[in-house]
Every structure is written in structure tokens, then in C-alpha cells.
Chain A
Amino acid sequence: MRVNFTVNGRPQEADDVWEGESLLYVLRERMGLPGSKNACEQGECGSCTVRLDGVPVCACLVAAGQVEGREVVTVEGLADYAQHRSSEHPGGACGSASGSCGTSLDSAQRWQAQPTGDDGRLAPIQQAFIDAGAVQCGFCTPGLLVAADEMLERNPSPSDADIREALSGNLCRCTGYEKILDAVRLAAARQVSQTEQEETV
């Protein structure tokens, strides 16, 4: 079958997709986007977490046909997605009081992703993972980044219990999670401090 959907802001088409293929397989093997990882392929580890119309999902549990006409953001598009959100919602997050978060489907459709890393630009959560030492083997990292970025979008000042709850679907075998918590706290703090600076200006 043929599947059409948008990945990181770009319309994509996949041909000859077998009906049993997952979104993860199509991203990794047909679209040249192996950033979403294949640690368990059974929805237990979160390493393949992507956003489907804004909602974090395990790409291994989504049948390719289910994404027809929909919007997918992967780790490869995360920096650009965060940049876009930042310009839509100055300060990074959408504000805890308003309750309205994220990017509208309309603006998401108008957004075009740039290839990541060309200008060394990273999403704040990506930079925080590097700075805090949250990356070891890195296999869990893409899924954690997508999940953590989505949480910070909803909840810019999370408590430790909030972070743990939001990331409880993402397994990491290397770090013992301490540096991952540090990274999310760091990204949140930088986000808040950036917001305060902008408000001061």
C-alpha cells in the first residue's frame, strides 16, 4: 500500500508498504530516519517515541496505515520543532496558567523542518542532555528527548515526581536516570530563566 504523511514538517510518501509494517519500520527503513530507536518493538521501552499529531506515541505500536494524512515529529526534527514552538510561544513553553499548549495543526502544517545539526542548533532539551551527562550509550536518548520535550511543553516547571511520571515509559539501562532527571531540571530552569529575561526586556 501507499502511505502519505508529514514527517518533521515535510510531506512524505512511502510505496509498497506491507500492511503489517509499523510506523517505526517505515521511518527507519523506508524514509532514512533511523533516529527513532528499535529497542523492544513491543511498546515497553519508549525508545521509538515520536509525536503523532502532537501526542507522544511508541512508533512501534502504530501501524503505518494509521498515520495516513497525519503529522509525525521525530528526534531528527526536534530542534526545529522546538525552535518553531519558541517563535510561536516566546519563552519556550505555553505558560502553565493558560492551559493551551503546543503547536496548532495549522501552524504545524506551515512549518518546514531544516536538516538538524547543519548550524549546530539543538533544542534546549537536547543541549541539556549533553550538558548534564544524561547520554551514555544513547539508545534511549531519542525517545526520552521527545517525551521530555513534550512534558516541558505542557508543564514548564515540573517537580521531580512529575518528571518521573512523565518519563516512566522510557527505559534507560545505562544512567540510573539521575543525570536524565538533572537534564530535564536543567532544561526547565533554562526555559524559566529565558522567559524571565524576555519578560524583563
Chain B
Amino acid sequence: MGVTGSPTDIHQSTASRTRGGIGASTPRPDGTLKVTGEFAYSSDMWHEDMLWGHTLRSTLAHAEIVSIDVSEALAQAGVHAVLTYDDLPTATRHYGLEIRDTPVLAEGRVRHHGEPVALVAADHPETARRAAAKIKVEYRELPLVTDEASATAPDAPVLHENRTDEHHRYVEHPNILHRQPIVRGDASAAAERADVIVRGEYHFGMQDQAFLGPESGLAVPAEDGGVDLYVATQWLHADLGQIAPVLGLPEEQVRMTLSGVGGAFGGREDLSMQIHACLLALHTGRPVKMVYNRFESFFGHVHRHPAKLWYEHGATKDGRLTHLKCRIVLDGGAYASSSPAVVGNASSLSVGPYAVDDVDIEAVALYTNNPPCGAMRGFGAVQACFAYEAQMDKLAAALSMDPVEFRRLNAMSQGTLLPTGQAVDSPAPVAELLRRVKAMPMPPEQQWLSAGSSGQEADVRDLPGGLSNTSHGEGVVRGVGYAVGIKNVGFSEGFDDYSTARVRMEVVAGEPVATVHTAMAEVGQGGVTVHAQIARTELGVDRVTIHPADTTVGSAGSSSASRQTYVTGGAIRHACEHVRERVLELGRTKLGSYHPAWATAELLLEGGKVVTESGEVLADLVDVLEEEAVEVELEWRHRPTEPFDRHTGQGRGHVQYAFAAHRAVVEVDTELGLVKVVELACAQDVGKALNPLSVLGQIQGGTTQGLGIAVMEEILVDPKTAKVRNPSFTDYLIPTILDTPTIPVDVLELADAHAPYGLRGVGEAPTLSSTPAVLAAVRAATGLELNRVPVRPEHLTGT
């Protein structure tokens, strides 16, 4: 079909028949392709005769579109199409993950800086960019809504009129997208018992996922009037459900295949270029490739919600928490994205991994003219963790207690009730994780010194400021800080969170081979690695083929919420169990008369053979299967959850929890306000490490993203214009290898009896506690209160 870079099967064999199952650090099956440059990412797709698509975006955050004149753009040589709202083919002109409030192209009004207004297809990307610059858009500026006060003022412009979503009846103002109160016990009465009460107001900056592979893909019009779409996404089927109605096509005619995904971290849950590329392809009859550059990528996906958090805790003088009152305001920006779920997490996990019986909690998300915010690793729980961990340190200080011991005294454990009234029904080793992370060896003092020819010499590279050579140790103060967090795993609040797996077993070239086909988005996390491991463990084969993820198989759900190994892994195991039963039935039919154990014993598949539990070999799988292929496609779901009560927040909303604790060691140049994080140790319970090497990679990567928001990362939005000021890697800084410390990890494996193999989702928890641990360490070094992240040099020097 002329597509270059179309995903193909990935085959993997392991060196030994007994290795490569769960629990082994099996290498990635896509590793060789990725180190040779042959792995085809969504921006690598190519098709003969393809055109390049480009998006014209709004230059203002809130404005009426008076007119759009595309004539000059259309007249450019090499331009094949210019599309605006008026060209959309059907009455369905909006999309959205939870609420379909996002226009495919702006309809008479833009609500945030960088909103898509028009599309161009041309024969060269530069031609498309230049043509887009010739589209004349006349705007009439509208007043801005940028924070809670301006959003809920009596005369505030309403961003979304005539709301019909499920939340609008429960909010006091149409610019409040969702509000979730949680009330349990009597917080005010409990406050009377407190010997100390601490309060704080905390600010969390807007973080970007900053995945490296930009939004991109290729749409190829098909002869049947449909379209084949190759993209990088986190959930093919959720995309499909939003794309097809806008195109006016049945879902069967929008065939989606996952291309290589260059990271995601939540930023690919919402659509970006998917519908746009399809519209241009169907309009021109030509394949259309769209690739955002980094500047556009900052406008092309949602960000982590910036938040303001007000917290009040009390404790008795023996160190017991009495109550929590808190209010969390999340800026959802112009469109809903996953804001309601973020509110659910922020409210239900606002207390952190602590046992507190009396709580009065409220979390809200706002509609504003700021950039839309949605999913990013650990969403909702990340912002809350920053605040409650700062509070724990304040309480410990007020009580003159050790901050780790204070946390351990109040740590939740199995059986503890969450503020929602739901009991935590699996191990919750919060105190143990804190003990472990505290017990890890400390990096040496003055680690920048080493023995040289003339005594002790300083390596400036190990000091704050690094090669800028700003200090040889003068003014440098060390601080140590601790934090712990709790993250829900899987989709919560009654969502039907299932996955589908198709598993096939057959003999290929004289060997039994398992093929695993799911729609799971491999975004880098290593899902494909554990899928092969599960198939090996369950089916006793060495060779596994991973079929490309596409929409010819049922939904796998999202590669988010730390859920894929649990849910799609669970679906694969479930399908493998059915394949195994069918294989054993085949064996009994063909070979049962040769050995009584076929009828009587518990049988396993191991090393390419059917064996009894005692290890006796009954048959080779090759002889059982012969020419037959056994294939099963099944859905699998975790235990159901239920929505939180709208007024009390009570309800069994969550499935599983992940816990991680961090210890940060920082060195601060107190004169210049420069922070060097020397070490960021982590202890995390993962239930069962299906691939220990991948688990470490997740923990270290998540920890580093938490470090980023602690000391450097923030999308700056001008409060006067609501425009993004730093859409580039020059101005939006993510940690480099120089900024990132050693990250020793202690992995605990306490099985969750409800989950496949006892595993716990791993990916998000380390992103929570990393940030507050770094802040605690900087506070310890400087004695400053520091109530916002990221912390900047001027916050440390007071300049």
C-alpha cells in the first residue's frame, strides 16, 4: 500500500527455554529496532504522493472570530486544501475524553492561546506553514478568565454556555467544571482535640509531559471511502470513538494502527492531529502526514493542572493526626479533557497515605482561558502530595518530632479507611517504605571533593552551578527531606475498565509459537516486554510474536493510570489460560490414551511440553498442536468500582493503590539560589516485579519527572494575556543528565491478592513523592517555607 514505516510483528525468542517468563529482566523485544534507528515512530511514516498538513492556531486566548479569509493561502502554489470550521463534514464538530466540548476547529470563538483555527495541506511542510501564515483571521478580543476569582465573578464570561454534561447540575457556576466534596466524621469537632494546628497555602505550577516524540501521524484515504490512520496515542479505541463521528464514517472505516510512540506520560490521552490529518486526507484524496515541531507540541496537548491548595491539619501532642480540612482548586483551562477524573483523584487522595478519620475536603476544577489541562503521570494525586507532605513536615516541626517517625506513626496500613469510606484491602506498607528509604546509605558529605595531587580537590561538576564554576563549596548547604505518597491504580469511580487480548498458539517452523495481539499502546513503558513474558509463563513457549496494536482487536483501555500491566496483562493471562485449556483438550483427545495422567493430573505447559505438576513430560506441544492453531480473544476486567457520592464523596471508587517513598539529598548554593540534587533514593512496593529492570526504569524515570517540577519545569502563562510564554526546550527546562542525581531504588514486593500475579501498577507513584522530598530537603537546607513548585533561585535568595 506504499506506506513506509508501517508497524510489523515483533518476534522474540529467549536464549533458554526456562527464561524469559515473568520475574525475569527480559530485554525489550523492540530494543534492537530502537537502537538501530529502524523502529518506525509516528513521525517516521512516509507515503508516496503524501501531502503535509499544518495547523493554524489562535494568537489570542479568548476572542470572537469575526472572519477568516483563506483565499490567499489557497492560491499558493503547492497548496491542496485549506479547511476551517465551515468545511467540517458532519454535525459532530466536537470531541473530548469525558465531555465532548472541544471544537475540532474553532467555531466563531477561541478559548485559549494556540487553539486550532484552520488546516492546510501542501506538498512541502514549509509551503504549508507559509500558506497558513497567509490565512487572515480577524479577532475581536473577549475578557479573560484566568483564575478562580475571575472565573466565578458575577459578571464572568461563561466559557461553555448551555452545558449538558453530568457535572453541571452540581456546580455553583458554569465555569466550575466539576466539584467533589468529601466529608467523613466531624473535622471541626476533631480539631478541638488538636494540640497543634498547622495551615498552609500551596501552589503547584503547570507541568508539561514533554514526551520527546512530537504529535504526528499519517492518514491514508482508502478506496472504500474510509481512512487508515497511523498515529502515536495512548488509547486507540478512545481515539476511534472520537474521530469517526466527526468524519461521518462508521468506526469500521477508520482503521487505526499504533505507530512508534515517543513517550506519552498522559499527554497523548487527548486527540491532537488525528482528526485533522484524516479531514485533510479525505478532502484531498491524498495521504497526509502531520508532524508538530516542539513549539507546536506545547500547544498540541494538555498539561498537568496547576493547582492552589489550602490545607489545615491538626495533631495531638503525642503525634496523632486529628483531622484534615482542605480545598484544592485545579485550573482545567479552556476544555474539560480529563479534569473530572483529576478532581476525583485529588479529593479522594488528598489525605495521602495516612489514617485520618475526620475530614472535610473539597476539590474543584475550573474552566478558564488558560491552556487546557488534563492527564499527566500521577494526575490529581501529584498536586495533593506536594501539599500534604509539606504539612507533615510542618506538623512534625510543631511537635518537635522526627518527620519520618511522625509519618510512620500516622501511616495507613491494610484495612485503613480512605476519606471515601473505602477500606484499603491490600498491603499498604507505608511505614515500612519510609523505614527502608531512611535506612539506605547516605551519600558522602562534601561529595564534590576527591583526593587530588595537591590534597582535596573540588570537581565543580558535582556542585550547584556545575561547570558554570560558581562555587567551590562556599555557601553550599546540604539538606535532607522525606516524602511518601499514594496513587490509585486503574480507572476509578465506576468506569468499566476492561482490556481485550487475542492469543494464538500454533507450530511455526517446528516450534510452538504464541502470538499476542492487543490494542495496548506501547509508549515506552515496556508493555510489549511483559506481554511476551506472560505468554511464556502461561503457555510454556520460548518464541512469542507481538502483533502490532490496532483496532482490529478489542480495546485495551488506556496506557495510563499505571494500569496496563494489571489490566491488559490480566487479559493476556486470562486468554492464555483459555488457550492452555484448549491445548490440553486437544492433547487429551489425541494422546489421552497413552498416559493416565492426561485424565487425572493437574497439567502444565512448560518448556514447549505438556507436563504434570510433578514434572513428568506427557507430550511435546508440537505433537499436540500439529497443524492446528488455537486462538482465543477475551475481555478481562478488574473488580468494579463505584462513583463517589456527589455530596459526601463516599464510595468504593478505587481498585488498587501504589505507594512510594523518597529521600532527597540536596546541596544548595544559598547565595545564588542554585540547587543540586545529590541523590534521590526511592523505596516502592510493586506487588510483584514482572520485569525488575523495567520496574527500575519506571521508578527512576518517574522520580526524575518529579524532580523536574520541583526545581525547574513550568509552563509560564502570562496572567494578563493567558498566553504561553515559554513553548520551547530553550525556555521550558526538563532535567538533563547533569541535573539528575543517582537514584538508588529499594523494591518491595508485597502481593495484592486481587491482582494478576499480585502485581501493582508501578509507573506513577514515584512521580508523587519525589517532588515534596526535594522541597523538604531544600527547606531543610535553607530554613525557608517554600510553598510553591517549581522553586526558583529567586525564591531562595529573596531577590
- Contact at A141–B35, with CB atoms within 8 Å? yes
Assuming the contacts A35-B38, A44-B729, A76-B37, asked whether A136 and B46 have C-beta atoms less than 8 A apart, the reply is no
- Contact at B28–A175, with CB atoms within 8 Å? no
- B797: CB under 8 A from chain A? no
- Contact at A135–B28, with CB atoms within 8 Å? yes
- A99: CB under 8 A from chain B? no
- Contact at B737–A174, with CB atoms within 8 Å? no
> Max chain A CB contacts within 10 Å: which of B461, B526, B704, B736?
B736
- Contact at B263–A161, with CB atoms within 8 Å? no
**A33 nearest CB neighbor, chain B only:** B37
Docked CA distance A74–B35 (Å): 12
Q: What are the residues of chain A within 8 A of B262 when measuring CB–CB?
A: 37, 39, 137-139
Question: Interface-forming stretch among A90-98, A163-171, A190-198?
Answer: A163-171
Q: What are the residues of chain B within 8 A of A139 when measuring CB–CB?
A: 41, 211-213, 262-263, 524
Q: What are the residues of chain B within 8 A of A135 when measuring CB–CB?
A: 28, 31, 34-35
- A11: CB under 8 A from chain B? no
Q: What is the CB-to-nearest-CB distance from B162 to chain A, in angstroms, rounded to a whole number? A: 40
- B27: CB under 8 A from chain A? yes
Docked CA distance A39–B216 (Å): 11
- Contact at B701–A171, with CB atoms within 8 Å? no
Docked CA distance A172–B730 (Å): 15
> Max chain A CB contacts within 10 Å: which of B44, B209, B525, B730?
B44
Docked CA distance A141–B728 (Å): 21
- Contact at A44–B737, with CB atoms within 8 Å? no
Interface size bucket, B side? 35 or more
- Contact at A130–B28, with CB atoms within 8 Å? yes
Docked CA distance A168–B693 (Å): 24
- Contact at A130–B729, with CB atoms within 8 Å? no
Interface size bucket, A side? 35 or more
- Contact at B461–A138, with CB atoms within 8 Å? no
Docked CA distance A138–B259 (Å): 13
Assuming the contacts A133-B697, A135-B31, A174-B263, asked whether A40 and B36 have C-beta atoms less than 8 A apart, the reply is no
**A160 nearest CB neighbor, chain B only:** B742
- Contact at B459–A137, with CB atoms within 8 Å? no
- A188: CB under 8 A from chain B? no
- Contact at A177–B34, with CB atoms within 8 Å? no
- B740: CB under 8 A from chain A? yes
- Contact at A171–B212, with CB atoms within 8 Å? yes
- Contact at A136–B697, with CB atoms within 8 Å? yes
Q: What are the residues of chain B within 8 A of A177 when measuring CB–CB?
A: 700, 704, 737, 740
- Contact at A174–B524, with CB atoms within 8 Å? yes
Assuming the contacts A130-B35, A164-B461, A167-B737, asked whether A176 and B743 have C-beta atoms less than 8 A apart, the reply is yes
Q: What are the residues of chain A within 8 A of B523 when measuring CB–CB?
A: 137
- A199: CB under 8 A from chain B? no
**B522 nearest CB neighbor, chain A only:** A137
- A34: CB under 8 A from chain B? yes
- Contact at B734–A32, with CB atoms within 8 Å? no
- B368: CB under 8 A from chain A? no
> Max chain A CB contacts within 10 Å: which of B37, B700, B728, B740?
B37
Docked CA distance A135–B528 (Å): 13
Which of B461, B693, B736 interacts with A161 by CB under 8 Å? B461
- Contact at B743–A178, with CB atoms within 8 Å? yes
Assuming the contacts A165-B461, A178-B742, asked whether A122 and B526 have C-beta atoms less than 8 A apart, the reply is no
- A64: CB under 8 A from chain B? no
**B41 nearest CB neighbor, chain A only:** A139
Docked CA distance A56–B712 (Å): 27
Q: What are the residues of chain B within 8 A of A131 when measuring CB–CB?
A: 27
Q: What is the CB-to-nearest-CB distance from A144 to chain B, in angstroms, rounded to a whole number? A: 9
- Contact at A41–B294, with CB atoms within 8 Å? yes
- A155: CB under 8 A from chain B? no
Chain B window 1-15, contacts with chain A (Cβ cutoff 8 Å), 1 for yes, 0 for no: 000110000000000
Docked CA distance A44–B731 (Å): 10
Which of A42, A117, A126, A176 interacts with B740 by CB under 8 Å? A176
**B700 nearest CB neighbor, chain A only:** A176
Number of residue pairs A-B, CB distance < 8 angstroms: 194
Within 8 A of A (CB), among B33-84: 34-41, 43-44, 46
Assuming the contacts A34-B44, A42-B729, A171-B734, asked whether A176 and B34 have C-beta atoms less than 8 A apart, the reply is no
Docked CA distance A175–B265 (Å): 12
- Contact at B738–A165, with CB atoms within 8 Å? yes
Chain B window 709-747, contacts with chain A (Cβ cutoff 8 Å), 1 for yes, 0 for no: 000000000000000000011100010111010110000
- Contact at A35–B32, with CB atoms within 8 Å? no
Assuming the contacts A47-B212, A137-B212, asked whether A171 and B37 have C-beta atoms less than 8 A apart, the reply is no
- Contact at B737–A180, with CB atoms within 8 Å? yes
- Contact at B212–A39, with CB atoms within 8 Å? yes
Docked CA distance A42–B729 (Å): 8
Q: What is the CB-to-nearest-CB distance from A172 to chain B, in angstroms, rounded to a whole number? A: 8
Docked CA distance A40–B291 (Å): 11
- Contact at B126–A20, with CB atoms within 8 Å? yes
- B664: CB under 8 A from chain A? no
- B532: CB under 8 A from chain A? no
Docked CA distance A23–B45 (Å): 18
- If over half of A's interface residues share one DSSP class (helix, strand or loop), that class is named, otherwise mixed; here it is loop
- Contact at B697–A38, with CB atoms within 8 Å? no
Q: What are the residues of chain B within 8 A of A180 when measuring CB–CB?
A: 737
- A142: CB under 8 A from chain B? yes
Q: What is the CB-to-nearest-CB distance from B35 to chain A, in angstroms, rounded to a whole number? A: 4
**B260 nearest CB neighbor, chain A only:** A138
Q: What are the residues of chain A within 8 A of B211 when measuring CB–CB?
A: 137, 139, 173
- A129: CB under 8 A from chain B? yes
Docked CA distance A70–B43 (Å): 26
- B214: CB under 8 A from chain A? yes
Within 8 A of B (CB), among A23-57: 28-29, 32-42, 44-45, 47
- A179: CB under 8 A from chain B? yes
Q: What is the CB-to-nearest-CB distance from B376 to chain A, in angstroms, rounded to a whole number? A: 12
Docked CA distance A151–B104 (Å): 47
**A46 nearest CB neighbor, chain B only:** B736
Q: What are the residues of chain B within 8 A of A41 when measuring CB–CB?
A: 293-294
Q: What are the residues of chain A within 8 A of B291 when measuring CB–CB?
A: 38
Docked CA distance A32–B742 (Å): 38
- Contact at B524–A168, with CB atoms within 8 Å? no
- B25: CB under 8 A from chain A? yes
- Contact at A133–B696, with CB atoms within 8 Å? yes
- B508: CB under 8 A from chain A? no
Docked CA distance A33–B28 (Å): 23
- Contact at A76–B36, with CB atoms within 8 Å? yes
Q: What are the residues of chain B within 8 A of A145 when measuring CB–CB?
A: 35
Chain B window 292-334, contacts with chain A (Cβ cutoff 8 Å), 1 for yes, 0 for no: 0111000000000000000000000000000000000000000
Docked CA distance A172–B263 (Å): 10
**B732 nearest CB neighbor, chain A only:** A44
- B467: CB under 8 A from chain A? yes
- A116: CB under 8 A from chain B? yes
- A75: CB under 8 A from chain B? yes
Docked CA distance A76–B702 (Å): 30
Which of A37, A76, A167, A171 interacts with B213 by CB under 8 Å? A37
Chain B window 244-264, contacts with chain A (Cβ cutoff 8 Å), 1 for yes, 0 for no: 000000000000000011111
Docked CA distance A131–B697 (Å): 13
- Contact at B294–A141, with CB atoms within 8 Å? no
- Contact at A38–B700, with CB atoms within 8 Å? no
Chain B window 357-389, contacts with chain A (Cβ cutoff 8 Å), 1 for yes, 0 for no: 000000000000000000000000000000000
Q: What is the CB-to-nearest-CB distance from B760 to chain A, in angstroms, rounded to a whole number? A: 19
- A181: CB under 8 A from chain B? yes
Q: What are the residues of chain B within 8 A of A181 when measuring CB–CB?
A: 737
Q: What is the CB-to-nearest-CB distance from B125 to chain A, in angstroms, rounded to a whole number? A: 8
- A79: CB under 8 A from chain B? yes
Docked CA distance A175–B524 (Å): 10
- B30: CB under 8 A from chain A? yes
- B270: CB under 8 A from chain A? no
Instruction: List 17 A-B residue pairs with CB atoms under 8 Å apart, sorted by A's residue number.
Output: A21-B126, A29-B46, A35-B36, A37-B41, A40-B293, A44-B728, A116-B38, A130-B28, A135-B35, A136-B524, A138-B39, A140-B212, A142-B35, A161-B459, A165-B467, A173-B210, A175-B701
Q: Give 8 closest A-B pairs by Cβ, nearest first.
A: A35-B37, A137-B524, A139-B262, A138-B34, A176-B700, A176-B704, A44-B729, A34-B44
